Amino acid sequence: MANVTLNAPSGISQVLGQDGVMYAVSSGTVTMPAGAIPPNIFKAGFNFGVGNTGVTGATGNQGNSGATGAAGVTGGTGPTGQTGATGLTTGPQGAVAATGSTGATGATGPTGP
């Protein structure tokens, strides 16, 4: 039968096994055959000792890709641009107009006294 290592509660120095043998507690643990472990020993505060670390299991398969996210919201309106430069106050001078035509001859005046 395989031996079992148990962690003993503090203050316990030996354990009476089911086989009638006294097992010494050393550095907080006691090792005894599995068949010699007394009933209800775990209720008295004993627990299984820590064994060697087991081998790492195989890596699992990669999961599916998640669904595409919803479209983002439209951004807010940007700030108002700066006022442009003031334009010139006067335009260029216009061209000189052509001379007008000669006026019509005036009416004959009234006959004198």
Query: Rounded to whole angstroms, how far apart are CA atoms 15 and 91?
Result: 115
Task: Flag whether 112 is in a domain.
Answer: no
Q: Which range of residues forms the domain containing residue 7?
A: 3-36
What is residue 97's predicted lDDT score, i.e. its pLDDT? 85
Cβ(38)–Cβ(16) below 8 Å: yes
Q: What is the pLDDT of residue 64?
A: 93
Domain assignment present for residue 86? The answer is: no
| Domain assignment of residue 72, yes or no | no
What pTM does this model have?
0.42
Is 66 a domain residue? no
pLDDT at 29: 92
Q: Report pLDDT for 31.
A: 92
In this prediction, residues 39-57 reach a mean pLDDT of: 79
**Can you tell me the distance from the alpha carbon of 5 to that of 28, in angstroms, rounded to the nearest whole number?**
10
Is 79 a member of any domain? no
- Quote the mean pLDDT of the chain: 88
Residue 111 lies in a domain: no
**Count: domains in the chain:** 1
Residue 50 binned pLDDT confidence (cut-offs 50, 70, 90): low
Q: 64-100, pLDDT tens digit by residue?
A: 999 999 999 999 999 999 998 888 888 788 888 888 8
Rounded Cα–Cα distance for residues 3 and 85 (Å)? 95
What is the reported pLDDT for 89?
83
Establish if 24 belongs to a structural domain.
Answer: yes
Q: Which of 9-23, 38-52, 97-111 has the lowest mean pLDDT?
A: 38-52
